[in-house]
Amino acid sequence: MLTIERYIIAEVRRPVTMMVGFLTFVFASYSAERYLTEAANGTLGLGVVFDIVFYKVIIALEMLLPVGLYASVAIALGRLYNDSEVTAILAAGASPLRIYRAILFIATPLAIVVMLLSFYGRPWAYTQTYQLQMQSRSDLDVSHLQAQRFNLNDDNGRMILAQRIDQQTNRLTDALIYDPAQGKSRIFRAQVATITNPDPLAPALTLEAGTTYTLEHHGSRDSALSYRHLQLDLKPMETTAENKRKSTPSAVLAVSALPQDKAELQWRESRGLNAVLMALLAVPLSRTAPRKGRFATLLPITGLFTVIFYGGNLCRTLVANTALPLTPGLWLVPLLMLTGLALLAARDLRLLPAFKR
């Protein structure tokens, strides 16, 4: 590798490490605060908070790594342009393509990491996160149920209130259970409620000496029934179709004919290429005129990232809704990025004779 490429790579590598580390720390701190709040409210087990944050960081790295590289290239080259170092490099007879080549050298391995995260790390992390959330957010997990308090599950609207909770025997004394359903709601009162199965996939209780009320949302067929002993099987928790899709292995998505699965697969396939193209686009966008300052290009660089980010999400939604055909599908954004990069690179190459005069 030549001296110019090594110098540019060294200038970019330092801010990349700092930028990715900073973004990861900020994201992890935000996620920890969010899930610690849920743990304090009793809707999430405290023991799984940091595990979930770890998996969330793995998911976010798919985006944080390209963003960190994109911003670092813009910052590093902006400084080189501002200090006239790029001008000196080009005046010495070096081609502008050598700057692109240096960025390509550092972007390629990072893009491979992003691609692996997108294909394998992200689905695995989503699977682990959903399993932990379902296990911890079980309505019947006495480890985070609180006595004399409304314990509300935001995922399904179910609420449990008990005067006393015995974590050794899984027994709730003087319990009230509100269970909403489509078209009706059920309310159970029991002197004693024993949790026989806390599994969120098959939650079950045994109720003793109480009353059950069924309230129709439409109509007047409300009913009340007293009982001495009642075996209650609650509706299991379910993940949304979108959540299931995010945790689906890429090999399964590849053989699926559903447009939503195809959109998710194309999203994963395009992440690595997008990371490379974003880094290369930062090269011409970071070019500044003398005495304008290294942050003069901040606005166009930020604007381009916003267009790329929301453009990719929009294309994924359109493909999932069959409003955009699979060809080009999500590849429309990389194609536009590649076209813009070719035009900007051609502009830089046409400037080469001006530096030689």
| Helix (H) or strand (E) segment spanning residue 356 | helix 352-356
Q: What is the pLDDT of residue 112?
A: 96
Q: Give buried/exposed letters for 58-88 (b at 16+ CB in 10 A, else e).
A: bbbbbbbbbbbbbbbbbbbbbbbbbeeebee
Q: What is the pLDDT of residue 135?
A: 67
Q: What is the pLDDT of residue 219?
A: 72
Per-residue pLDDT tens listing for the chain (357 residues)? 588 888 899 999 989 999 999 999 999 999 999 888 877 766 666 778 889 999 999 999 999 999 999 999 998 888 888 878 888 888 888 888 889 999 999 999 999 999 999 999 999 999 998 878 776 655 567 777 788 888 877 767 788 899 998 888 889 999 999 988 777 888 999 999 998 887 777 788 899 999 999 888 777 778 888 999 998 888 776 656 666 888 899 999 999 989 999 999 999 999 999 999 999 999 988 887 656 655 667 788 888 899 999 999 999 999 999 999 998 999 999 999 999 999 888 887 765 444 443
Domain assignments of the chain as residue spans, ordered by start: 3-136+242-356, 151-233
Residue 216, helix vs strand vs coil: strand
C-alpha dist (Å) from residue 339 to 124, 144, 342, 353: 34, 54, 5, 23
Q: What is the pLDDT of residue 131?
A: 79
In whole angstroms, give the CA distance from residue 265 to residue 256: 10
Whole-structure pTM value: 0.75
Q: What is the pLDDT of residue 71?
A: 92
Q: What is the pLDDT of residue 53?
A: 93
